[in-house]
């Protein structure tokens, strides 16, 4: 899971904004091609607007009735003239200057007032927060533009008044966004520390909180400045903003409208200018947001495909199907997460076999690749970024990973089903559990809704849910954690599978419920003779439930064998430590913190044995070359140079 946890921790980092380094910010911004294009266009427009006074332009207000409504490309008037014969190019440049100024000024005013309200409300909390936010809500009770109109009605039409109106209307966006972030910050250690050191509230807000809130302010500004330009132009268009002879782009458009039928070029040129201006700002704004808050960027939200991407090398020597007819046989499976240049080898050359009716435990720390292994079996690893690069998953003489989409779909939840870790997130929150069961049934065999519902209730009954008929009507959040997991088990049983893959099904539960669920699983398994792949980090659970066990470390199976034999004499130093940190068998939650050090990052695997940095027995030889699995006893193997000695030491240790 380390690749997954890496990406989610990147998400966490994005949620608590920090000031990024300026150079990397600009680089991020420019990596986005559209944002770069927007920046170029915007820079050009801004430059022209700023340079307006020194550009060789005609007087924008000089009327010339003789020259009225000249078309573009007329002599002396590149873009033609308006209905009073004024030079359109000049008016446009000056209008752009005015519109830009209005939009930016309105944004600054809104940002200043809104951020202040948000900072104060979020920092002080309590009644002040309540009062401020209620007032903000009141502002938001008005439709956006209507409020601006009401304000202009009060202040009277005019340039500055339109600017104030648009600014006020946008205050709530700033206040809400900034308050949200500030609330989160006001209890952070560094703020508490500043408070204890006797710093005044004002100074804390400015020197401790503000810098951390700044990215949010910048994002909100960059996403609202476009609107504000549009809104101020709109008010001018209605005749409520800039007053003649002064004209912003909206006024030019509004005036042009009167002569639209005879001289459409006036409105068209003004319209295109506003459009280009706002679009370039929006492009840059999106770029800024993506750069400052990567979680929101398009790439971070890649949609997982229905089946994991499978891209295996042709000349693999793994093609031979297994002997006999096991429930499942995995051969040399490799699943990787490929994120840009980085490659996380989450599952690395993994092979194992589950015989019919057998329970195999797959044990390892989080990040060992055990869950990714489980998900790979039916192509459920999210991709992007997951890719299955090698291996076969044999079942009934066929390679599951080569099946057609439709056959794979029929297998999923049919003969092979899954139980996942936390049923609160793995059940759909908005459908009743009964409906979710009905769906599972009807995905695999034709049945009317009523028939399927009866079966669903029977299934709930089978997993010992009391008052099953009533509970079927419940939504997942209305049930307890244990009940929810029973529902998930019922769902897995819906189509009488012969193999259930259970991925840490009890980890999210408390100890007593855990024991009940384990007992239920064991009972069901013996009752219907199904095979079980049980994934856990807890050796105690394995010893209760599993016939055989495979131990995973850094994407590889490092030891495999019958549970009893492995427990008595582990052949791999890692297994040995794992077993040692189970204090009481089956007490669950105990993390594997007793092993010093951390598992290696699977994008930077060391040469040789991946466990070497933490291994008490490691020698120089351990750090060279691949360590192949060696057979240490009947149906037992381990990937350790000293497997035999480790095993012997364990036997002697327990004998002693």
Give yes or no for a contact between 421 and 505, defined as CB atoms under 8 angstroms apart.
yes
Give yes or no for a contact between 55 and 209, defined as CB atoms under 8 angstroms apart.
no
**Of 3, 92, 119, 152, which lies in the binding site for other proteins, with binding defined by CB under 8 A?**
152
Binds 596, which of other proteins, ligand SF4, none (CB < 5 to 8 A, cut-off by type)?
none
Q: How far is the CB of 431 from other proteins (least distance, A)?
A: 8
6-35 residues in contact with other proteins (CB under 8 A) are none
Q: How far is the CB of 137 from other proteins (least distance, A)?
A: 8
Query: How far is C-alpha 133 from the chain's CA centre?
Result: 29
Query: How far is C-alpha 92 from the chain's CA centre?
Result: 44
378-407 residues in contact with other proteins (CB under 8 A) are 378, 380, 382
Give yes or no for a contact between 631 and 637, defined as CB atoms under 8 angstroms apart.
yes
Give yes or no for a contact between 332 and 350, defined as CB atoms under 8 angstroms apart.
yes
**Number of residues counted as binding other proteins (CB under 8 A):** 77
Is residue 119 involved in binding other proteins (CB under 8 A)? no
Q: What are phi and psi of 624, to 5 degrees?
A: -120, 130
Binds 271, which of ligand SF4, other proteins, none (CB < 5 to 8 A, cut-off by type)?
other proteins
Distance CA 347, CA 360 (A): 17
Binds 611, which of other proteins, ligand SF4, none (CB < 5 to 8 A, cut-off by type)?
ligand SF4
Binds 206, which of ligand SF4, other proteins, none (CB < 5 to 8 A, cut-off by type)?
none
Distance CA 466, CA 295 (A): 43
Give yes or no for a contact between 69 and 83, defined as CB atoms under 8 angstroms apart.
yes
Binds 146, which of other proteins, ligand SF4, none (CB < 5 to 8 A, cut-off by type)?
other proteins
Q: Which stretch binds other proteins (CB under 8 A): 22-30, 351-359, 414-422, 556-564?
A: 414-422
Q: How far is the CB of 617 from other proteins (least distance, A)?
A: 39
Distance CA 40, CA 46 (A): 10
221-250 residues in contact with other proteins (CB under 8 A) are 226, 230, 233-234, 237-240, 250
Is residue 123 involved in binding other proteins (CB under 8 A)? no
**Of 104, 144, 243, 259, which lies in the binding site for other proteins, with binding defined by CB under 8 A?**
144
Binds 153, which of other proteins, ligand SF4, none (CB < 5 to 8 A, cut-off by type)?
other proteins
Q: How far is the CB of 238 from other proteins (least distance, A)?
A: 5
DSSP string computed for 574-597: HHHHHHHT-SSTT-----STTS-S
Query: How far is C-alpha 286 from the chain's CA centre?
Result: 18
Q: How far is the CB of 134 from other proteins (least distance, A)?
A: 8
Burial class (CB in 10 A: 0-12, 13-18, 19+), 283: buried
Q: How far is the CB of 108 from other proteins (least distance, A)?
A: 21
Distance CA 90, CA 41 (A): 19
Q: How far is the CB of 529 from ligand SF4 (least distance, A)?
A: 37
Cβ distance to other proteins smaller for residue 284 or 622:
284
Query: How far is C-alpha 214 from the chain's CA centre?
Result: 23
Binds 439, which of ligand SF4, other proteins, none (CB < 5 to 8 A, cut-off by type)?
other proteins
278-297 residues in contact with other proteins (CB under 8 A) are 278-279, 282-283, 296
Could you give the dihedral angle defined by the CA atoms of residues 543, 544, 549 and 551, in that order, rounded to the nearest 10 degrees?
-60
């Amino acid at each position: 899971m380390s690749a997954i946890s890496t990406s989610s921790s990147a998400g966490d980092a994005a949620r608590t904004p920090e000031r990024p380094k300026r150079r990397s910010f600009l680089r991020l911004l420019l990596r986005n091609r559209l944002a770069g294009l927007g920046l170029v266009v915007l820079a050009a427009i801004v430059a022209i607007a700023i340079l307006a006074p020194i550009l060789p332009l005609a007087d924008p207000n000089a009327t010339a009735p003789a020259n009225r409504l000249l078309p573009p490309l007329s002599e002396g008037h590149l873009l033609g003239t308006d209905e009073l014969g004024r030079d359109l190019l000049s008016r446009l440049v000056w209008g752009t200057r005015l519109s830009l100024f209005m939009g930016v000024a309105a944004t600054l005013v809104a940002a200043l007032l809104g951020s202040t309200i948000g900072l104060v409300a979020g920092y002080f909390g309590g009644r002040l927060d309540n009062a401020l936010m209620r007032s903000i809500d009141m502002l938001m009770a008005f439709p956006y533009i209507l409020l601006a109109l009401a304000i202009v009605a009060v202040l009277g039409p005019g340039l500055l008044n339109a600017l104030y109106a648009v600014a006020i209307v946008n205050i709530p966006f700033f206040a809400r966004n900034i308050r949200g972030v500030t609330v989160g910050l006001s209890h952070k250690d560094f703020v508490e520390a500043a408070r204890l050191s006797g710093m005044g509230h004002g100074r804390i807000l400015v020197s401790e909180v503000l810098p951390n809130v700044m990215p949010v302010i910048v994002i909100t500004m960059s996403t609202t400045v476009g609107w504000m330009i549009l809104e101020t132009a709109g008010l001018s268009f209605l005749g409520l903003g800039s007053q003649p002879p002064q004209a912003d782009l909206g006024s030019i458009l509004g005036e042009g409208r009167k002569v639209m039928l005879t001289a459409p070029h006036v409105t068209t040129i003004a319209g295109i200018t506003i459009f280009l201006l706002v679009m370039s700002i929006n492009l840059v704004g999106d770029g800024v947001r993506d750069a400052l808050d990567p979680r929101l960027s398009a790439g971070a939200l890649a949609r997982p495909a229905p089946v994991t991407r499978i891209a295996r090398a042709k000349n693999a020597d793994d093609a031979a199907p297994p002997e006999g007819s096991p429930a499942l046989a995995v051969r040399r499976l490799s699943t990787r997460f490929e994120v840009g240049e980085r490659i996380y080898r989450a599952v690395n050359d993994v092979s194992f076999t589950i015989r019919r009716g057998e329970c195999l435990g797959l044990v390892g720390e989080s990040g060992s690749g055990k869950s990714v292994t489980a998900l790979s079996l039916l192509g459920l690893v999210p991709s992007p970024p997951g890719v299955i690069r090698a291996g076969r998953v044999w079942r009934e003489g066929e390679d599951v990973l080569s099946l057609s989409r439709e056959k794979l779909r029929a297998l999923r939840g049919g003969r092979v089903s899954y139980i996942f870790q936390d049923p609160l997130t793995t059940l759909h929150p908005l459908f009743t559990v009964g409906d979710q069961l009905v769906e599972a049934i009807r995905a695999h065999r034709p049945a009317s809704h009523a028939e399927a519902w009866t079966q669903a209730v029977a299934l709930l009954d089978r997993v010992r849910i009391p008052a099953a008929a009533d509970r079927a009507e419940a939504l997942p959040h209305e049930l307890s954690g244990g009940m929810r997991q029973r529902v998930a088990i019922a769902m897995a049983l819906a189509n009488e599978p012969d193999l259930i893959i259970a991925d840490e099904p009890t980890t999210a539960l408390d100890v007593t419920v855990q024991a009940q669920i384990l007992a239920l699983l064991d009972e069901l398994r013996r009752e219907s003779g199904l095979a079980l792949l049980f994934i856990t980090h807890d050796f105690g659970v394995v010893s209760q439930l599993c016939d055989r066990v495979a131990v995973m470390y850094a994407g590889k199976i490092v030891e495999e064998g019958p549970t009893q034999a492995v427990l008595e004499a582990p052949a791999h130093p890692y297994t040995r430590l794992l077993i040692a940190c189970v204090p009481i068998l089956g007490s669950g939650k105990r993390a594997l913190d007793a092993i010093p050090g951390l598992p290696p990052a699977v994008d930077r695997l060391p040469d040789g044995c991946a466990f070497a940095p933490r291994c008490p027995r490691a020698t120089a030889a351990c750090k060279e070359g691949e360590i192949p699995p060696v057979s240490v006893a009947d149906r037992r193997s381990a990937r350790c140079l000293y497997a035999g000695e480790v095993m012997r030491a364990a036997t002697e240790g327990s004998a002693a």
